[in-house]
Structure 1
Amino acid sequence: MTFRATLRTLRLILPAALIFSASAAEPPPRPYWHSSMVHKAWTKQEGAPTAVFGITQDQRGMLWFAANDGVYRFDGARFERLTAIDGNKLRSSNTNAILAVGSALWVGYSFGGVSVFDHGQAHHYGVEQGLPVRTIYQVVRSGDGTMWCSTADGLYWLDGAHWRYVEAADGLVPGNVHYFTALPDGSILADHPTGVYRNTPGSHRFRKVAGGQGIEIHTLLSNGDVLLVNQARQFFRYAALTGASAPLQFPPDVPPLDPFLDARGAIWVNNDAGLTLLGPDMRPLRTFAGLNNLSGKQVYNTLDDREGNLWLTTENGVDRIRESRLTAVPLPTRMFRAMSVQPDPDGTVWISNHKTDGDYDVATFGLRPDGSRIETPLSNMTASMLAPDGSLWFGNGQMLWQREHGAWRQWPLPPNLQGSDVQYMAVDRSGRMWLSMVRNGAYVFRDGAWQAGGGIAALTKLTPVSLHADPQGRVWFGYTSNRLAVLDGAALRQYGAADGLDVGNVAAILSYRGQLLVSGDQGVALLDGQRFVPLHDADGQALRGASAMVVTRKGELWLHGADGLTRVAAADLASGLASRRLRVDHFDNLDGYRGQPSQVRPLAVLSEAADGRMWYATSASVGWIDPANIAHNPQAPTAQVTTLRTDQRQYDARADLVLPQHSSNLEIEFTAAILSIPERVRFRYRLIGQEQAWRDAGARRAAFYTNLGPGSYRFEVLAANEDGVWSATPATLEFSIEPAFMQTVWFKLLCGVLALALAGGLYWWRLALVTARIGERLRERLRERERIARALHDNFLQSVQALMMQFNLIKHGLPPDDPVQAQIDAALDTADQVLGEGREQVLSLRLNHELSGDLEAALSGLGHILAARHGASFVLTVKGTPKPLRAAAAAEAYAIGREALLNAFRHACSDEVTVELRHASAQFSLQVRDCGRGMAAEVYERGHRPGHFGLTGMRERAHDVGGALEIRSVAGQGTTVTLRLPARRAYARKAADKLPSMPN
């Protein structure tokens, strides 16, 4: 089998650019890779596909893979294997080619045919549409919008709804076209067994532009660059747009078995040793060694995504290679563990390591800006410092070294300090160098002379962990266990936990605009007056412990702790210290950080170089980051809703989704394609119809809702990438929940009607009950009135009558001319008047309508009795259709009418009294009218007779029953009393409103 046949069989090395549409906007050119890169591999264990034959990226940033067990979708965090897309099944799970064009996804199958999935619809092409029953290798879109696909037979292009074959007459003889790509000018560049062919833009005519028999294509890029190899295994880089060809010379130790190009123009070599990146000078820049790094041994496909990551597929899974924000420098093989870094003013960075038990003794060296090294006589350095005068100082357990103007000077430690490592160095304003000597406290070194504690006995007892000389001339000494001292002149002041210091071992001390910062393994604190206060980040979390702190020349604060580097921007530092909250950026293992700073000795693990780069040293690496050129991801992620789940089933996210009744508990899954650092993704979401405020989900990709009612909802979600760039617009999912009958408006209305009916029934039942009780009480009152009437008639009136008869007998027994006769006659007249009034009261008791319930009959009986007694005529008329009156209305109307009749017969001296009852639809009225002498003027104006309350009682009764009383009187022409009651107050609505009559 030839080398070409082997490549074809394994589907090796499909270039990244082949996957993209030529009509898509070209990304800006990316700079060449630097040596520090972050690699991650996913295998089948993490759900990744294996032996991927096609890879593409859609307009939302999602990666799609075509494999022999279906199509896979990847958002940077999770692989999803799909046998259907938007509810439309694939024609086969054995897929080979895949291409995203706009919102459409094109899929080519291993046994022929192409499917297009777009906006929930699917369209399939097969033999009937002109395609052969052969494997679809690739699908590509040219600049004029034409769709192309390649097979073992050759090229095909889509003409409307039918695929056309590129024949020999078009300049391309039949043969296996495996690789082809769309060039920026709209043409197609295709690999053929006989050479490289290119068509005229907008046509289907091809011509050979390079190669020939025995020339194979290894890579095609969208910019027209082609990697060619001949039978002698000589490689050439051919630029299709210019026609220029250049030979490539690979390093002898990197055999070019399967080289390929990426979008940065870099050449990668995949061989038995793994994957090697060659630099612009064709020398190895970085190697990922076989299965120790990559997911597999053989690279099948590559893709450069829109965020600048390089994706590889192997026989075992998927790999991602991206640039790190931290750049590690190559170190000597045996240099590791306790390393330190110290830049000097001329741009050289000095790298040392402290040898511990079992470590190798590696010499300190200087790294120039051009990458070359400077050898030194130093080794096993335990401390370093850049002095204010620009000289460089190093120290260990035997010597103190100074480098100035390129020359080295050295001083041995005094005999009593030999073997006592220099742990920290600082130079105060007077030029004295303070040193922390392990197990020997603090010393001052000046002009070759050593002084224990600088003459302060207290400073010889404890060994400082850190030193700092501030601009005010004070020297600060940091110790273990939250202890700190400051020497101000000859005065020594100590601080501790009682002063708010809570950072653990004081590893670093720093001055910033007259303020003092201290850090340790437990946090960072600021000296506020005479007390220390802890500093927090913007979320209120305590700042992580730091082994070193630096304020750069541009005013940024950098911290180096166990989990990486932390930066506080200059614009945020001053305000953050005032509020005790700092907005920070972290750089950790996701940015290429490895190891941790020295935890035993506070070595120089963080420094600013002359060019502004921040250099750091850890137990595993030495590297730098350029604060002025930190790579950021400007690509705003496109959030998308993927799935909605209820207690019963799962739904694909699609428009106008209708959920069945009782779908009250929902789980909504969402995602966003953030491929560089998906671990730092952030989401926020809300459900319109349930809430208006956004919820922060952090990195969680699901939302949960319970007890949702029926109705329409719109779910919205936004995503932010690792640099806090948020989606321009939220992804939405609109859905509705169908109401059960008990949740419908009709059910609620029915419940309301039933509730009203029940309330009305309860009201009428209560009304009937109360009316019955009132009726019973009225009947009891009626019986009591009858008893009183009988008692008055049978006892009192009879007794008065008997008494009058006795007085008559006494009168007849007296002489006719006896003066007592006149007195007895007067008494008998008075008694007769009392007897008459008593009979009227008895009659009133028996005729009271409040008891009888018949107003017409009661007033008629009373009127005729009074008329006969006073020798006057009485007339009662009824107008309108009589209607039953309410019991209370009838009782009060009778009382008012009775009082008016008594007044008319007794006081008006009228010859005729009339009563009119008028039953109108709007009101009921009672009118009592006489033609007597009328009321006295003063009584009419006042409204009542002094000492009498008849008229006042009539008005009160009318008011109580909700009516109006009108009294008109003209002297010599009579009086008219009119009672008017509204219909709702006067008429009974049902029998319960009427007072039942007593039996005769």
Structure 2
Amino acid sequence: MGLVAFGLLALSCAWSVVPRPATAATQATQVQAPAPARPEKPISAFYRETWTTRQGLPHNQINAIAQTPDGYLWLGTWEGLVRYNGLEFHQFDRSNTPALKDNGVRSVRAAADGAVVIGTSRGGVAVKQGDRWRTWTRADGLAQDEILDAVLDRRGRLWAATESMGMSMLEGGRALQFNVANGRLPSDVVFSLLEDRDGSMWAATAAGLVHVVGDRAIRVGTLSGLPQAPVFRLLQTRAGVLLVGTERGVYRRDASSGRFERLSPRLPEDGVPSLTEDGAGHLWIGTINNGLFRLSGSGVEHFTSRRELPNNRVASLLADREGSVWVGTNAGLMRLSDAPFTTWNSEQGLTDDYVRAVAPAPDGGIWIGTGRGLNLWRDNAIVAGYTKAEGLPGDSILSLLQARDGSLLVGTYTDGVLRLRDGKVVARYDSADGMPGSNQIRALAEGDDGTVWIGTTRGLARLRGGQFREFGVAQGLPREFIIALHVARDGTLWVGTSNGVARIVNDEVVPLDADLVRGAQDVFDFHEDADGTMWLATDRGLLRYSQGRLRGLGLEHGLPVDTLFSILDDRRGYLWLTSNRGVLRIARAEAEAVLAGRRAQLTVDHFGEADGLVSSQCNGGSGPAAMRDGRGNLWIATARGAAAVDPGSLQSYRHGLPRVVVEQVLADGKPVHLDEVLRLPAGTRKLEFRFAALSFQMPRFLRYRYQLEGFDPGWVERGNLRSAQYTNLDPGSYRFHVNVSAPGLDQGWSSEVTSVAIEIAPQPWQRRGFIVAAILLGLACVYAIYLWRVGSLRRRAALLEDTVAERTRDLRLHAERLRESDLEKSVLLDRLGQQSEAFARMALEDALTGVGNRRSLDAELQLAFGRALRNRRPLCFALFDIDNFKQINDRYSHAAGDQALIAVAHALRDALDGAGMLARWGGEEFAVLFERVPLERARDICEAMRQAVERIDCSAYAPDWRLSVSAGIADRAGTLRIEDLVARADALLYEAKRGGRNRIAG
């Protein structure tokens, strides 16, 4: 292995020593002690998350990355400094931060005391310490304001590397310059700096490496083993090894001899602008042209833009305290993390990403059925693949069953059932061989006696002793589209169909009316408990059948989605449920409590792409779509591969709960400077606290609670909301407390509480002495006013008696005139009301078709979207377009086109039947808003609307023409803006058009 051996053998022990204390030079690369060891994963199996300007970055080039002790991530871009808390970006630039003299941030360093040191392109060095800023420029002693790197060392000295005038060191009022002119540097271009653990400073220059000891600069020449090339980046590992990134690759320094040697012959001789070391001691190398490399116990791995890296120029790297590696490139930011789920797909050798079924194989293997063949996983690798090229009649696999005789039964999409031994097809059962039903096989099951049950889309077939028997609607099944099969411990066969469930006992079909519970129809999976209790995954939630009774759990009990595909018991007290929107985990004890009425809501752990699922879309309708293997791992079929998770390893991904940081305090809507005690002026009535627990791997698991001591009687739990507001606060002393928990990872409330003391000064009139004096004065004034008022009333009474008679006469005459005027006004108001109603109807109604217009739908969509966000309810939006409408106008006239528009509008409206709001969107487009309607239901309604248009008879105005529509439907999930929802529906509409028209996409 050559020089790689330093990482794998010679230095593996040295790198395992206890990490040294953080210094200003090492804070950016030091991470917390790693969690318990897990099997090493390849980079391709890491979870990847990418940010660009589309996700809120001000610029796509990430010049520098640092993490401060409080957990914030800091990014240097050409458009300013960016702070990231795991959920949102906050930008600092010249427009909102006067201390930043230039938006071009070339370097960001985190000092040991929490200060952020920023080197800018033309504005010198800025240092942020809490809410306070300070700036150093040429006027303060810097050689120039074009800074490539800046470091605050442990003695508080500021070191600045400049673009063309060497290096400056500022200490107190002293400025020391290092440059070519004074003979201290070989080049005036200094790319980066590194403070050694012994307090000396290393400088990477365009003409090599320089070691500064005291005020003396020592050049490290080529005789030491370094190439004659510019040095870009420096890193000192936790074991004290100095790594040097040059224009010709990475070199390491031997501590005993002081000489340098190539880090690994497997690394390219490319420029290395970034280096970092993760918590496991692995080295990450960012290159100028060849992307990212990792040196680990597995050797050298390469990761490039071909595998989703935003760009092969890696300008910055950071291993954070949670173990994630942040990669800054010229085209965006990426986070790589070892997530709980590992997804196996075509990148690891799977024949196709679209996985339909998974089943256990002998010797600990896993069979994986995809849209393009059968695969065998074993020993952490895909070891075999079977497609048409290997003898399968077709590629699309729908169902799998490892038979008791050692063979594998494979249900296909069009070729019936195949029996395989040693990867060879030894038997085939299809309609040509007398198998009843269709050749589309969605479920397989086997009884204790070897009887094979075959679920097809046209009925159930039983294979026993080489003979088939058919079970269908005529035999009592609720429907012949079979989705799931399960042979219970007592020999009963449970059959899940697209219209309910039935049991087969001694060849007798016994229907079970699942529709009586929550309206469930599609039954996708079964799970049987040891006591015979049966759990059903359906399109309307999770059902439990026990002692002859069905009960269900759904959206109202806390499930985020109620179309469930599979049920797995991890034997650790949890049920895992798969869906189109990720994997859910619920505690079995909680589910039992809710079903028994002892508890109102479930606590649901929701796993998605942030947890390693390449796609949150789990597959169902064939099977097994999920399974538990012999080692306790759960396997799940998804649209982008086979995902696996070890439920017992979740704890190893659990990091200590992060401390909550109070990010901002607003007093009467204005930001307040954060101090140990917030002293607020008199009259302050409203306080708002914004806070966050800084975690980049588990922000979705975090839950917050807070208390304003002196106002709240106890803790206030607010779920994942990260702000607290108080109004009408009286003057006085308060103390705001906030802390965090992660119930999804079995972590209770943190023992560490973040607190902020507040003092609101009273107004002068709110002081006790002022209040007593004011009361006495007020009583005197009230008595004086009383005396004056009594006299005034007596004088006015006499005057009023004289005028009442005269005014009464005048009022009588005036009343008669008013009655006449009121009659005339009533007639006029009736006419105006009629006109107003007509105008209002014209404003919100399409004149041609009589349905709503776009203005009416826009207004309702705005309101409905807001309600859906607040209440976390479903909301769907669909766009319909009349296929080939222009040809109607061209062939039959625009008058015929108008009649076609009217007919389509009426057909859509009638089929919609009040389930949503229909409007003409423009031209031949119509839009439908579905509020509080799940996507699956909305898709069914849209399909009915499409079929209604197909039935339109247009022979009167367009002979020989058949109307049809295409549509795209999207739900609100994952969108925070109306525009994104409309854009998604529009994209799906065009997908339907490209797919051949007259169809629904979504």
How far, CA to CA, are the matches of 1:91 and 1:446 in structure 2? Answer: 83
- Which one of the candidate residues 719, 726, 734 is aligned to 1:705? 726
Inter-CA distance 203–634: structure 2 relative to 1 (3 Å threshold): farther
Aligned equivalent of 2:304: 287
Amino acid at match of 1:564: G
How far, CA to CA, are the matches of 2:705 and 2:504 in structure 1? Answer: 52
How far, CA to CA, are the matches of 1:229 and 1:65 in structure 2? Answer: 21
Inter-CA distance 211–189: structure 2 relative to 1 (3 Å threshold): farther
Q: Kindly indicate whether residue 73 of structure 2 is the aligned counterpart of residue 63 of structure 1.
A: yes
Amino acid at match of 1:311: W
Aligned equivalent of 1:692: 713
Aligned equivalent of 2:378: 368
Query: Which deviates the most, 556-565 or 512-521?
Result: 556-565
SS in 2 for 1:602: coil
- Which one of the candidate residues 238, 252, 256 is aligned to 2:252? 238
How far, CA to CA, are the matches of 2:420 and 2:397 in structure 1? Answer: 14
Aligned equivalent of 1:99: 109
Aligned equivalent of 1:34: 43
How far, CA to CA, are the matches of 1:643 and 1:596 in structure 2? Answer: 34
* Paired residues for 1:832-847 under 5 Å: none
Tell me by how many angstroms 1:508 deviates.
Answer: 0.6
- Which one of the candidate residues 495, 500, 509 is aligned to 2:517? 500
Query: Which deviates the most, 750-759 or 691-700?
Result: 750-759
SS in 2 for 1:245: strand
SS in 1 for 2:147: coil
How far, CA to CA, are the matches of 2:773 and 2:551 in structure 1? Answer: 65
Tell me by how many angstroms 1:615 deviates.
Answer: 1.9
CA deviation vs aligned residue, 1:289-341 (integer Å, no higher than 9, x gap):
59x862x6744322222222333344565443334332222326973446322
| Contact 1:502–1:534 under 8 Å retained in 2 | no
- Which one of the candidate residues 360, 369, 374 is aligned to 1:343? 360
Amino acid at match of 1:196: L
* Paired residues for 1:247-286 under 5 Å: 248-249=264-265, 256=270, 260-264=274-278, 265-267=282-284, 286=303
Amino acid at match of 1:475: L
Largest Rg, 1 or 2:
1
Amino acid at match of 1:35: S
Aligned equivalent of 1:891: none
RMSD: 4.5
Amino acid at match of 1:473: G
| Contact 2:563–2:580 under 8 Å retained in 1 | yes
Amino acid at match of 1:245: E
Inter-CA distance 309–600: structure 2 relative to 1 (3 Å threshold): closer
Inter-CA distance 306–419: structure 2 relative to 1 (3 Å threshold): same
| Contact 2:619–2:639 under 8 Å retained in 1 | no
Tell me by how many angstroms 1:269 deviates.
Answer: 5.8
CA deviation vs aligned residue, 1:653-678 (integer Å, no higher than 9, x gap):
33433434433234333334333354
How far, CA to CA, are the matches of 1:525 and 1:20 in structure 2? Answer: 58
Amino acid at match of 1:423: R
Tell me by how many angstroms 1:682 deviates.
Answer: 3.5
Aligned equivalent of 2:673: 652
SS in 1 for 2:564: coil
Q: Kindly indicate whether residue 566 of structure 2 is the aligned counterpart of residue 548 of structure 1.
A: yes
Tell me by how many angstroms 1:47 deviates.
Answer: 4.6
Inter-CA distance 591–323: structure 2 relative to 1 (3 Å threshold): same
Inter-CA distance 32–193: structure 2 relative to 1 (3 Å threshold): farther
CA deviation vs aligned residue, 1:62-97 (integer Å, no higher than 9, x gap):
122345655332222333233599998456666544
* Paired residues for 1:718-757 under 5 Å: 718-720=739-741, 723=745, 728-753=751-776
The share of aligned pairs that are identical, in percent, is 23
Inter-CA distance 34–65: structure 2 relative to 1 (3 Å threshold): closer
| Contact 2:555–2:562 under 8 Å retained in 1 | no
CA deviation vs aligned residue, 1:186-227 (integer Å, no higher than 9, x gap):
554432444334467x89674638445623335422316666
Aligned equivalent of 1:480: 498
- Which one of the candidate residues 393, 398, 420 is aligned to 1:382? 398
Residue ranges of structure 2 left out of the alignment (5+ in a row): 1-21, 789-1002
* Paired residues for 1:299-310 under 5 Å: 299-310=314-325
Aligned equivalent of 1:217: 231
Aligned equivalent of 1:614: 634
How far, CA to CA, are the matches of 2:177 and 2:269 in structure 1? Answer: 39
How far, CA to CA, are the matches of 2:269 and 2:369 in structure 1? Answer: 35
Aligned equivalent of 1:636: 657
| Contact 1:112–1:131 under 8 Å retained in 2 | no
- Which one of the candidate residues 182, 185, 189 is aligned to 1:176? 189
How far, CA to CA, are the matches of 2:489 and 2:481 in structure 1? Answer: 23
How far, CA to CA, are the matches of 2:292 and 2:54 in structure 1? Answer: 20
| Contact 1:70–1:93 under 8 Å retained in 2 | yes
* Paired residues for 1:137-152 under 5 Å: 137-140=148-151, 148-151=159-162, 152=164
CA deviation vs aligned residue, 1:97-142 (integer Å, no higher than 9, x gap):
4322223333444457545443555565566765423533323356
Aligned residue-pair number: 733
Tell me by how many angstroms 1:524 deviates.
Answer: 0.4
How far, CA to CA, are the matches of 2:445 and 2:756 in structure 1? Answer: 62
Aligned equivalent of 2:623: 603
Aligned equivalent of 1:466: 484
How far, CA to CA, are the matches of 1:737 and 1:554 in structure 2? Answer: 51
Inter-CA distance 122–546: structure 2 relative to 1 (3 Å threshold): closer
How far, CA to CA, are the matches of 1:498 and 1:65 in structure 2? Answer: 54
How far, CA to CA, are the matches of 1:40 and 1:79 in structure 2? Answer: 13
How far, CA to CA, are the matches of 1:521 and 1:461 in structure 2? Answer: 16
How far, CA to CA, are the matches of 2:473 and 2:668 in structure 1? Answer: 79
How far, CA to CA, are the matches of 1:538 and 1:143 in structure 2? Answer: 57
| Contact 2:609–2:616 under 8 Å retained in 1 | no
Tell me by how many angstroms 1:526 deviates.
Answer: 1.3
How far, CA to CA, are the matches of 1:747 and 1:491 in structure 2? Answer: 91
Amino acid at match of 1:105: V
* Paired residues for 1:154-165 under 5 Å: 154-157=166-169, 159=171, 162-165=174-177
Amino acid at match of 1:56: A
| Contact 2:200–2:211 under 8 Å retained in 1 | yes
| Contact 1:23–1:145 under 8 Å retained in 2 | no
How far, CA to CA, are the matches of 2:523 and 2:375 in structure 1? Answer: 29
How far, CA to CA, are the matches of 1:388 and 1:746 in structure 2? Answer: 92
Tell me by how many angstroms 1:171 deviates.
Answer: 8.0
CA deviation vs aligned residue, 1:420-449 (integer Å, no higher than 9, x gap):
32221222344322222321x222223433
| Contact 2:477–2:509 under 8 Å retained in 1 | no
Inter-CA distance 230–655: structure 2 relative to 1 (3 Å threshold): closer
How far, CA to CA, are the matches of 1:642 and 1:85 in structure 2? Answer: 20
Inter-CA distance 437–118: structure 2 relative to 1 (3 Å threshold): closer
TM-score where L is the length of structure 2: 0.63
How far, CA to CA, are the matches of 2:246 and 2:64 in structure 1? Answer: 26
Inter-CA distance 467–285: structure 2 relative to 1 (3 Å threshold): farther
TM-score where L is the length of structure 1: 0.63
| Contact 1:278–1:285 under 8 Å retained in 2 | no
Inter-CA distance 70–697: structure 2 relative to 1 (3 Å threshold): same
Inter-CA distance 430–456: structure 2 relative to 1 (3 Å threshold): farther
How far, CA to CA, are the matches of 2:761 and 2:781 in structure 1? Answer: 29
Residue ranges of structure 1 left out of the alignment (5+ in a row): 1-16, 355-361, 766-1000
Tell me by how many angstroms 1:476 deviates.
Answer: 1.4
How far, CA to CA, are the matches of 1:444 and 1:643 in structure 2? Answer: 67
Q: Kindly indicate whether residue 352 of structure 2 is the aligned counterpart of residue 352 of structure 1.
A: no
Aligned equivalent of 2:457: 438
* Paired residues for 1:847-886 under 5 Å: none
How far, CA to CA, are the matches of 1:245 and 1:49 in structure 2? Answer: 37
Aligned equivalent of 2:434: 415
| Contact 2:660–2:754 under 8 Å retained in 1 | yes
How far, CA to CA, are the matches of 2:401 and 2:133 in structure 1? Answer: 69
Query: Which deviates the most, 341-350 or 259-268?
Result: 259-268
Amino acid at match of 1:82: F
* Paired residues for 1:555-634 under 5 Å: 556-568=574-586, 583-595=603-615, 601-630=621-650, 632-634=653-655
